Chain A
Amino acid sequence: MQKTLIVTAGLCALAFAADPLAEARRHIDAGRLGEARALLDELRKSRPADPDVLFTGLVVDYRQGSFAAVLAGIDGLAPLAANLEARILRAAALDALGRDEEADAELERLLKAPGAAARPALHLGHGQLLLQRGLNQQALARFEEACRLAPQWAEAMMWQGVALMKLGRTDSAVNAAEAAERGAPDLASVHSLLLKLYRLTGQEESAAKQAAWLRRNAGAGQ
């Protein structure tokens, strides 16, 4: 389970708004951190106090494993201290540094903040942290809440499927993953999940189709 995903979740939520940062975020989502960093460095010259620019820079820091820098960045910048996604990122950085109790406290605080409980990204991110700790049932509850709040969000559906699979509820997991595939037919992670689920449930022909898709679209040469 990858810690980075909580950050991806945050970005998905932000990406609903049209923003010149979109390209940098696309680079981050695709793992092109160098390109993202270059764009952000340029943006910071014209928008040095823009919290979105600052936040996205911290996402790059996080993805590069600079967890301490993330904490310092968020705690040191007032505009970010109240930013929900930044707080999620802070909780993830605390978790990555092994500061579990602080991470949990941060997330509890976030859920109680006005309006926060209605933010699907927060629930998705929280669920991913729980999944990393093997707390699958609790993680599922977070993913279900994310899906309830954002019924079209394929990534949330996919993670709901992952949690269901880990809980042994494979039929429900297949339903969630197939819904995610309908919402985002080009998301490789959804095809990977479906492949695992079809194999687990003995649907070998469907599994083979998923494997073929992945080999075509996400193989070593891609």
Chain B
Amino acid sequence: MRLILAACATVAMAQIRFEDVTPKSRIDFRLNNGAQGSLYQPELMPGGVAAFDFDNDGCMDLFFANGAGLPSLKKTGRGFHNRLYRGHCDFRFTDVTARSGLAGEGYSMAVAAADYDNDGFTDLFVAGVHRNFLYRNRGDGTFEDVSARAGIVTKDTQKDWSISAAWLDYDRDGRLDLFVSNYVHWDPAKEAPCGDPSHRIYCHPKSYAPQHHRLFRNQGDGTFADVSRDSGIAASPGKGMGVCVADAGNDGWPDVFVANDSVPGQLFNNKHGRFVEAGLEAGVAYPDSGKAIAGMGCGFRDIDGDGRPDVLVTGMVNDSYLLFRNLGRDLLFEDFTARAGLARSTVHLTGWSAGLFDFDNDGFLDLFTANSHFPRLERQMGMDPRLANSVFRGSSGDRFIDVSAAAGDLLAKRAFFRGTAFADFDRDGLLDAVVTALGDRPLILRNVSASAYHWIALALTGKASNRQGLGSRVSAVLPGGTVLHGYLTTSVGYASSSEPLLRFGLGPHSRVASIEIQWPGGANQKLTNLGADQVVAVTEP
């Protein structure tokens, strides 16, 4: 009887559903990691995807980072090109790579989208192996490679293997700065064989030395200064994967969490423009078991509605995906994984990207994860390492229930999934997802949840603050007094970038009593009595 009741309850709550609209999308991109059997470590790590509106037509577009030949790290043909697709607001996309100038060079890993020069057009940072790129959006459908001129590429960065990046205004001067998560020192000439001679596998990250991450300060004249050392970032090397930004201490200064691969997670606490790595002290470096996990993607959002951002980290099979709850005092978190129901429901998974969003607009954040075990582990795993993706429905703010089996086409495809971008591509108020997969076309998932709930989204335009208002903290008060909290960032999950909107699911409420915006520049703004089911454009006072 217990089992039957449990099953009924699960179906009743399983409102989140996705439809695979990949065939309709006309997206022919295939993520090519350059694998030729030599098992070079970078083959495991691509690829990021960005959902952004490059031409300001109101429809979300897509950029895919792509690999290159190995060990050359050169894009030797069109199959390695990065790709830009112009969206038409109906899940159809047109390939505009050639005109845009974004085909790229080198082995690309990740993408971070934001308007760094405050000119109203979204620019792209593309991270990669030993070479990163900054592309300035000219506003006419083309992009200009300004990497060297902007100071993003220097002699010091030539050996960086960058896996993810995030735009943030760390010094609150109104200009977006760039945090780059770096992985390990890697030299193709020194790649040692690992595993059984009869069945080689990819080496464990312990075979490589860690790298320090980088922080580039936007100087406001189109150039950046590498302030990694001065800011304190370089003092704490890691094996960085996903990077997430939020104001953990609610002090107005953006903090940075980095998910590290098989070494402790890091929380860079921003103390008025200087960072102190405080992952250990904050309790997010290790789960309660005290064993570092193979951290991949992350989320840094307020899950339990207390106004304080919590940390989620995806990991490898046997790790479980970790959830650290922000206790709200002295930058301290607790391992909340088991109580949230994630310890057991994710222990058999290996996760890459992740998204904490309200997919059914019921007022609670849900969790989407892009999954796959590592390639070449068929023999060790006794199973196909390709996995389907997962969605966990947030329930009452402190528990996640795996509703993947009832989530439509979510389970229809198993692949080596990696990056994920989230946006409302068809403007129906439900957040959709695009997931990349090694050696495969991306999975384009339309959110078709049968939700009668309402929503609201804010499109911010900063004046004293950065143009997109990234770093804004927003509280939405519902008619019943419930308060929802959000933090605006485009950095999400693993190596990827999502729509630059602050979105709230309102449940049954068709109005929002008030919304308060704390802009990163310091201004506070209050809006009252807003109707639901719309994107509200807000300009900083």
Contacts and interface: CB of A to CB of B under 8 A. Distances in A.
Contact of A3 (B196, B283, B290, B320): B320
B317 A65 contact: yes
A196 B291 CA distance: 14
A89 B332 CA distance: 35
B195 A96 contact: no
B480 interface: no
A208 B280 CA distance: 9
B239 to A, nearest CB: 6
A2 B320 contact: yes
Interface in A19-41: 33-34, 37-38
Interface string A63-75: 1111111000000
B381 A66 contact: yes
B256 to A, nearest CB: 16
Nearest to A162: B288
Nearest to B203: A34
Nearest to B333: A196
B318 A200 contact: no
Given A220-B237, A220-B239, A220-B263, A34 B318 contact: no
Given A96-B348, A200-B332, A3 B318 contact: yes
Interface stretch (A45-53, A109-117, A127-135, A144-152): A127-135
Given A5-B289, A66-B383, A207-B281, A218 B320 contact: no
Interface in A183-215: 187-193, 195-196, 199-200, 207-208, 210-211, 214-215
A44 to B, nearest CB: 14
B447 interface: no
A4 B383 CA distance: 19
A34 B343 contact: no
Contacts of A171: none
B105 to A, nearest CB: 30
B530 interface: no
B283 A67 contact: no
B238 A189 contact: no
Contacts of A37: 196, 380
A90 to B, nearest CB: 16
Interface of B: 3, 194-196, 201, 204, 209-210, 236-239, 260, 263-264, 280-281, 283, 285-293, 317-320, 330, 332, 334-335, 337-339, 341, 343-344, 347-348, 373, 377, 380-383
Task: Give the top 10 A-B pairs by smallest Cβ distance, nearest first.
Answer: A189-B290, A65-B317, A192-B290, A66-B382, A220-B263, A220-B210, A69-B382, A132-B343, A211-B280, A64-B380
